[in-house]
Amino acid sequence: MNFTAAYRIFTALFMLIVTIGLGMTLNDFTSVIYVFVPLLLMLGSSLMPFFKQRKLRLILFSVPIVILYCFGFYPWLTNYQEVAVSSSTSTLDFIIIPVWATLYGAGFVVLHEIGLGVVRAFNWGK
């Protein structure tokens, strides 16, 4: 099994876990869009030639999304009722976390490409 196939399987499993875990808490259709757009971007990025050329780009894009989803949605998955009562931003969590996760992932890819450009410009790679 090559890296891209393993990445797609991992993304599909992660989407399945998020779907099952948040299935009882997502009622609003726009919240569903905000939650799953980053995950679909993760899956779709494995089909783009820009990402397929370097495995590190896929990893850099995915890791912030996975980490922020796990930390951001963990309280929701474990005790939804308590978090909904105590959190003043309970509905915004589903919007803010995925958007920031995607921005971080894209930012890491951009920084990686800038770093590669600097290395090539100064011939540090040789």
pLDDT tens column, 9-27: 999 988 888 877 766 566 6
For tokens 């779907």, the residue is 19
What is the per-residue pLDDT for 23? 66
Give the predicted TM-score (pTM) of the model: 0.74
Q: Is the pLDDT reported for residue 85 higher than 80?
A: no
Q: For residue 12, give both structure tokens.
A: 């599909």
CA 72 to chain CA mean position, Å: 12
What are the two backbone dihedrals, phi and then psi, of residue 17, each rounded to the nearest 5 degrees? -65, -45
Question: Which DSSP helix (H) or strand (E) runs through 26?
Answer: none
3-state secondary structure of 80: helix
